[in-house]
Structure 1
Amino acid sequence: MSNASSSPLARAALAHVSICVPTCNRPDLLIECVDSCLAQSYPHVEIVIGDDSTDARSRQLILQRYRDEPRVRYEKHEPPLGQARNVSSLFERARGDKILLIHDDDLLTSDAVDKLVSLWQRYPQLDAAFGAQYEADHDGAIDLAASARLNEAFRRTQAREGLQPLAGRTGLIQMFPNNGWMADARLVKRVGYDARYGVCCDYVFGTELCP
């Protein structure tokens, strides 16, 4: 395991990355999220959206804004699948070599995918990677103090940068399922999200991904 605070390296082998985005009843936030995914400096991405919304607002916005954008792959679930099954369906639909999961109220910095992919060039046997996070309000203003506290709490700091010696600790204490992680697609599909665990499905996923 590694975090992603290092600078991007030269792209020796360009992986295809599937950015998976589950959404439910937050159309305006979803558009901001997708725009941040499309703004990536890394060229080989697709955005896979699973929509559990109870109305058609998200669908209408996606069709209006991204009708001619081949990188955006959208699916409306009727009836809604629920959190675990929605995420599982995104994993199944992902075509990339790597999977990155974020939610509809999250944004990616423009170099996020580039930085994460570069870690596989540095550590070819890497299974999964993650980086520091920022806390921001709905206007996009970043709370630097809150962000520093968040990253310190989950041990996502420069002092702890590099390969993580204890994978189990990464899953349990560093809360691997927290947003912004990237992992090998075959591993993600094998572990999956299990609906039996309800709202804890992401936590179980993280512990099973990092045994």
Structure 2
Amino acid sequence: MQKTFLNIGCGRQHITGFVNMDIVKPYDRKLDARKGLPFPECSVDGIYSEHFFEHLTQAEGLGFLRECRRVLKPGGVVRIAMPDLDDLVRRYTSEDWRGDGDMFKLGFDWVENRCEMMNIAMREWGHKHVYNEEELVRIARYAGLEPIGRCRHGCSDIPELAGRETRNSSKLIMEFTLPARSSESRPLVSVLIPAYRADYFRQALTSALSQTYSHLEIIVCDDSANNSIESMTRELAQQDGRVTYIRNQPPQGGLGNYLNCFARANGEFIKFLNDDDVLEPNCIEKMLNVFAAHPGVTLVTSKRVLIDSRGERLPDLPATQRLCREDSEMDGISCANALIAGQINFLGEPSTAMFRKIDLAWVKPHFMSIGGLIGIGAGDVAMWLNLLGRGNGYYIAEPLSYFRLHEQQRQQDPAIQQQGQQTWRKFIFQGRRLGLMPHLLVWGIRSRSAGSNVWRTMQIVTSPLFLIQLRGYFRIAKERYLRRG
């Protein structure tokens, strides 16, 4: 079978047997990589680019890498060759600041000092974002690619990608591939219960123990002030060895308890369960079936039902309305865009969704942050945005969890609500910066129903606070612009 390799931003350096693509001639096929790659999903064996990536903004680079991830076949490789910011800094601080830079062979021999050299290297030829290894790995992971490693000039384990560098200034050469996905038929799922209130805890834990999918570990991290949760957990643990009880010493608080649960999880998949929520018995089984059938999906969620303190069903809020009538795969970026722009968490609280641990374990400072912003009051949304940047979402129309509303929950605290609103506003900035929000307005979500390859637009409900928050965003942007001017 003939393989497909792409040479992106080829210029005049065409590679025989590759599809050589650029925005200006000569090329085999014209391409503006900022607008996507014109290839179907899982159709490309390898992608090469030399001195192209640094000509994209950070958001454009993320968009390009997400397109690479979309079109790559399993086992496919992306190889990027570019200048290395660390090398430029070393040259700047060296006596031999000219070094072996290509600029001095390209008519820039008139450069008189290291400051001029550095500015030209950073800004000339349309450069927009220059990377070192640490930053390139970080950005690739945001896009859903994992590093194979750093490569020497011209060296690769992939024969088609070996010997391709033509520029001496290609000091940073790295290869990336799709994240490894387990081939286990029955992967371990970690059900994580960050507990601190005993009122509804027994019902929550019982719903975890009653799952039709049995290969589980159930970890209870207890942040409460008494031994009620411990007593219930140890009672049920005597009947089921899958339960592990951990007393937080000292208490970790809401965020710290989530982080503690996550750190102790051994499963490939993570299913959070708040101590006042309830899962349907087939919740985990149905979600695992989606992951098995859709390798490109990184987040599975479902319709959830609101209940009160007595377990009685409540009317839907805008955030809990059913997104669609049938199970549907959702394009990750358009879903993230709608989430931020609409200012409503229509994907659900932590108890609603499931994901692979590998897809959030790399996030710094922790998995409830996005782009360095800690999602105070909206940590679940930060999780969903990270996951949607790495792959697609999937919505199960059947209700698989119950979200309890009551006066004692942390979400009712005015201070936390205020912090949450501030975090939502900051998501607009992070979304634009990280390529998750190509549109400031909500245009719906690209989706396709189960068994279909036809993408359509799913309309969603948006928050009435959005226009107020959007005006605030433009006001802040204007103030920053005027200060710079």
Q: Bigger CA drift: 198-207 or 45-54? A: 198-207
Give the structure with the higher percent strand.
2
Q: Over aligned residues, Cα RMSD in angstroms?
A: 2.4
Residues 27 and 188 of structure 1: CA distance in aligned 2, closer, same or farther (over 3 Å): same
- 1:112 corresponds to 2:283: yes
Cα distance in 1 for partners of 2:211, 2:226 equals 29
Cα distance in 1 for partners of 2:385, 2:298 equals 14
In the alignment, is the contact (CA less than 8 A) between 1:36 and 1:110 conserved in 2? yes
The Cα of 1:184 is off from its aligned counterpart by 0.9
What is aligned with 2:107? Answer: none
- 1:89 corresponds to 2:260: yes
In the alignment, is the contact (CA less than 8 A) between 1:164 and 1:170 conserved in 2? no
Cα distance in 1 for partners of 2:298, 2:256 equals 23
Tell me the matched-pair count. Answer: 194
Look up the equivalent residue of 1:184 and give its one-letter code.
R
What is aligned with 2:381? Answer: 203
Residues 61 and 138 of structure 1: CA distance in aligned 2, closer, same or farther (over 3 Å): same
In the alignment, is the contact (CA less than 8 A) between 1:85 and 1:193 conserved in 2? no
Name the % identity.
Answer: 21
Residues 204 and 58 of structure 1: CA distance in aligned 2, closer, same or farther (over 3 Å): same
Look up the equivalent residue of 2:216 and give its one-letter code.
V
Cα distance in 1 for partners of 2:338, 2:246 equals 32
In the alignment, is the contact (CA less than 8 A) between 1:40 and 1:113 conserved in 2? yes
Given candidates 229, 237, 250, the residue that maps to 1:66 is: 237
TM-score by length of 2: 0.37
Look up the equivalent residue of 2:354 and give its one-letter code.
M
Look up the equivalent residue of 1:164 and give its one-letter code.
M
Cα distance in 2 for partners of 1:89, 1:128 equals 21
Cα distance in 1 for partners of 2:375, 2:308 equals 30
1:54-86 CA distances to partner (integer Å, 9 max, x unpaired)? 122211221223234211111111211112221
Q: Secondary structure at the match of 1:65?
A: helix
Look up the equivalent residue of 1:107 and give its one-letter code.
V
Look up the equivalent residue of 2:356 and give its one-letter code.
D
Cα distance in 2 for partners of 1:80, 1:156 equals 37
Given candidates 12, 19, 43, the residue that maps to 2:191 is: 19
What is aligned with 1:163? Answer: 329
Given candidates 288, 302, 308, the residue that maps to 1:137 is: 308
Look up the equivalent residue of 2:232 and give its one-letter code.
L
The Cα of 1:170 is off from its aligned counterpart by 6.3
Cα distance in 1 for partners of 2:254, 2:338 equals 23
The Cα of 1:140 is off from its aligned counterpart by 2.8
Query: Which gives a bigger RCO, structure 1 or 2 (Cα 8 Å, sep 6+)?
Result: 1
Residues 70 and 188 of structure 1: CA distance in aligned 2, closer, same or farther (over 3 Å): farther
Cα distance in 2 for partners of 1:67, 1:170 equals 45
Query: Following superposition of structure 1 onto structure 2, how do residues 161-200 of structure 1 map, counting pairs within 5 Å?
Result: 161-165=327-331, 166-169=334-337, 171-172=339-340, 173=342, 175=345, 176=347, 178=349, 179-191=351-363, 192-194=367-369, 196-200=374-378
Give the structure with the higher percent helix.
1
* Structure 2 unaligned blocks of 5 or more: 1-183, 390-485
The Cα of 1:196 is off from its aligned counterpart by 4.7
Residues 150 and 198 of structure 1: CA distance in aligned 2, closer, same or farther (over 3 Å): closer
Query: Following superposition of structure 1 onto structure 2, how do residues 117-132 of structure 1 map, counting pairs within 5 Å?
Result: 117-132=288-303
* Structure 1 unaligned blocks of 5 or more: 1-11
The Cα of 1:171 is off from its aligned counterpart by 4.8
In the alignment, is the contact (CA less than 8 A) between 2:375 and 2:381 conserved in 1? no
- Name the larger-Rg structure: 2
